[in-house]
Amino acid sequence: MNRLKAVALPFLAAVVLTTDVTSEPSERSVYQLDSSWVEDNGQAFKLAALEGHMQLLALIYTTCEGSCPITVKSMQMFSRSMPADIKGRIRFLLVTVDPEQDTLEVLREYRREMKLDRRWKLLRGSDEDVRELAAVLGFNYEQIESGQFAHSNLVTVLDRRGEIVHQQNDFASDVKPVIEVIRRQQP
């Protein structure tokens, strides 16, 4: 397998630009999930619409008192302080695990409060669809008392086709791996 990859890579590098647009969705792409989402602005949304840009993805909920605010803040700091060579190459995606509390109105308010610009998408979906996306990402969560959730503290980088290319906990403590992953991808 590894040997195959080593042989294939130089060819891939040459082919990627020409095949990328027309090729079938990749076998490992998260965008094969047919789940239906709604953006905070009320627009219906399919994950496949994310194709074409890398995404930094986190599952959160707006009333989270623990790690989510830190995760989102650190994603924000990252978005402002990205090195010049990768600026504009990644978008930001927040998906709520608490669709019951996080109505579109609440998400819109969250966007205002956190000052999230147009590079950020906020998505709301059904419990089943959130559970499925989380299962694909390896994100574990469970509602506990008083509306809080016990949950993984996981940030995921998706490449332009929707494949998982990087995951890490404690994003706040070290953004270097993410910068490196973005650099490795085709601009």
- Does position 152 interact with other proteins (CB under 8 A)? The reply is yes
- Does position 138 interact with other proteins (CB under 8 A)? The reply is yes
CB of 167 to other proteins, least distance (A): 6
Question: Of 45-53, 54-62, 102-110, 145-153, which part binds other proteins (CB under 8 A)?
Answer: 145-153
Nearer CB in complex with other proteins: 116/178: 178
Nearer CB in complex with other proteins: 74/156: 156
Residues 44-103 that bind other proteins (CB under 8 A): none
- Does position 35 interact with other proteins (CB under 8 A)? The reply is no
CB of 80 to other proteins, least distance (A): 27
Residue of 134, 158, 181, 182 that binds other proteins (CB under 8 A): 134
Phi, psi torsion values for 171, nearest 5 degrees? -55, -35
Rule CB under 8 A: which residues touch other proteins?
27-30, 32-33, 131-132, 134-136, 138-142, 144-145, 150-154, 167-169
